[in-house]
Amino acid sequence: MSLDIDYYELLEVERTADNAALKASYRKLAMQYHPDKNPGCHDSEARFKAISEAYDCLRDPQKRAAYDRFGKDGVNGAGGFSGGGNGDFGDIGDIFESIFGSAFGGRQQQRGPARGADLRYDMEIRLEDAFTGCSRDIQVDVAARCEACDGSGAKPGTNTNRCSTCAGHGKVRAQQGFFMVERTCPTCQGAGEVIADPCNNCHGEGRVDRRKTLTVTIPPGVDEGTRIRLSGEGESGARGAAPGDLYIFLHMARHKVFEREGTTLFTRAPISFTTAALGGCITIPGLDRKGHEINIPVGIQSGKQLRQRGAGMPVLNGRGHGDLVVQVDVETPTKLSARQKELLAEFRETETGDECPASQGFFGRIKEMWDDLTE
């Protein structure tokens, strides 16, 4: 059969298909045309290799972009190297290792299926939860180890066979120009073994899609963007390979009273003009469920910030707390009784200007400016 077929047609997907669709179609077709399922059929073997080549190209964003623009010429340039004129040699460590050995800096690759992918979960929590710490149950959909075959991918009671393409090494070598390049075997995907009789539950993958419930412990003091790692709770590796990790990224819900900057809590408290003039005390309920008394000094001005030490957020993985900062906003009364208006009128009659030095100074400067303009 001819292998000069469009990669998207080979994988039976649209050109707009995302990575998940590519992966799903590749798995289905690879299972269908696998040489072990079609012994002695050269067409199936050729189709399997072509499908693997197409998937290897399209799952790589850079290779896919080059293929979409230039076709196979954009992926396979002069001398057999991928990447066209830019000379993208794939894993340059593989090239040097195949010529000089690992002593010259070549990266030693691990034989066998790759480790499972890491996963991300975004969680929103309240500021109160960040203050005290808490535990949350979450549900995640992951590719989990197949229990029927214990992740091997083979039907229980059967064995795997050594891969005939790579002779069990997990890698194949190919001449590319002046170099001998070693790559992962496309038949066994680096495992060195192929499954003769796949597990009916996972179809040889060694893992199945599953929703699982996990408990996440959130320590006190976490902040926006704090990352919590759950080791081994990511996607399971194929054919029993090690699982990836699950990373929980925390986000703070907007609070109706407090704003936060590090371990410092900020809030704004309106006070009456009489309290501002005479002084007094206000109580701010803290996240520690205690009332924090804030002393208002005599003559405080609007916008002044008062600090309460140790009433802020706890230090993550440490000791102590930050501070609580209260910004005072002096509120002018808008609803006055007749008696209150009478008292304020009497007060105004006794004003000398010394009660409000800032106001007196400002209007003094205005008078000086006016006198200068009229001279």
Determine the average pLDDT of the residues in 277-303: 93
pLDDT at position 264 over 60: yes
- Enclosing domain of residue 47: 1-88
| Position 197 pLDDT exceeds 50 | yes
Is 185 assigned a ligand-binding role in the annotation? Answer: yes
Reported as type and span, the H/E element at residue 362 is helix 357-374
345: CATH = 2.60.260.20
Q: What per-residue confidence (pLDDT) applies to 104?
A: 36
Question: Could you tell me if residue 283 is inside a domain?
Answer: yes
| pLDDT in the model for residue 127 | 96
Q: Is residue 360 part of a domain?
A: yes
Average pLDDT of the residues in 7-17:
88
Share of residues in the chain with pLDDT > 70 (%): 85
Hey, what are 206's tokens? 């060694």
Residue 243 has pLDDT above 60, yes or no: yes
What pLDDT does 4 receive? 64
Note the helical H segments in 71-114: 72-75, 92-100
The CATH number linked to 20 is 1.10.287.110
Q: Is 41 annotated as a binding residue?
A: no
3-state secondary structure 294-319: EEECCCCCCCCEEEECCCCCECCCCC
Q: Is residue 25 part of a domain?
A: yes
Asked whether residue 176 is assigned to any structural domain, the reply reads no
Within 10 A of 38 (CB to CB), how many other CB atoms are there? 15
Q: According to the model, what pLDDT value does residue 183 have? A: 83
In a domain, 178, yes or no: no
Q: What is the average per-residue pLDDT within 60-64?
A: 84
Where helices occur in 185-324 by DSSP H, the ranges are 273-278
Q: Are 228 and 250 in contact (CB under 8 A)?
A: yes
Question: What is the pLDDT, as a whole number, of residue 228?
Answer: 95
Q: Would you say 149 is a known binding-site residue?
A: yes
CB 245 within 8 A of CB 305: no
pTM for this structure?
0.59
Mean pLDDT value across residues 229-256 = 90
So what's the pLDDT on residue 94?
Answer: 43
What's the pLDDT band for 254 if we cut at 50, 70, 90?
very high
Question: How many independent structural domains does the chain possess?
Answer: 2
What mean pLDDT is predicted for residues 181-193? 80
Lookup result for tokens 């996240």:
287
Instruction: Compute the average pLDDT of residues 196-209.
Output: 85
Does the residue 188 lie in any domain?
A: no
Mean pLDDT of 300-316: 94
Distance CA 74, CA 58 (A): 12
Select from 66, 88, 110 the last residue of a domain. 88
Domain boundary among 52, 73, 88: 88
Question: Helices 61-70 and 42-58 meet at what angle, rounded to 10?
Answer: 110
Contact 300, 243 (CB under 8 A): no
pLDDT higher at 1 or 178? 178
| Look-up of token digits 């400067």 | 365
Structure tokens at 276: 């501002």
- Give percent of the chain above pLDDT 90: 38
pLDDT, residue 241, reads 78
Q: Which of 34, 67, 88 is the last residue of a domain?
A: 88
Q: Is residue 298 part of a domain?
A: yes
Q: Is 57 annotated as a binding residue?
A: no
Q: What is the reported pLDDT for 113?
A: 61
The pLDDT confidence band at residue 346, using thresholds 50, 70 and 90, is: very high
In the structure, what pLDDT confidence band is assigned to residue 295 with cuts at 50, 70 and 90?
very high
pLDDT of residue 219: 95
Q: How far is CA 337 from CA 208, 342, 348, 349, 358, in A?
A: 74, 9, 17, 19, 29
Query: And the tokens for 303?
Result: 């916008």
pLDDT band with cut points at 50, 70 and 90 for residue 363: low
Q: What is the pLDDT of residue 176?
A: 66
356 is in an annotated binding site: no
**Bridging pattern class, strands 246-252 and 259-261:** unpaired
- Any known ligand binding at 134? no
pLDDT digits 0-9 by tens, 68-115 = 877 776 666 433 333 333 333 333 344 344 434 443 334 444 455 678
> Would 15 be classed as within a structural domain?
yes
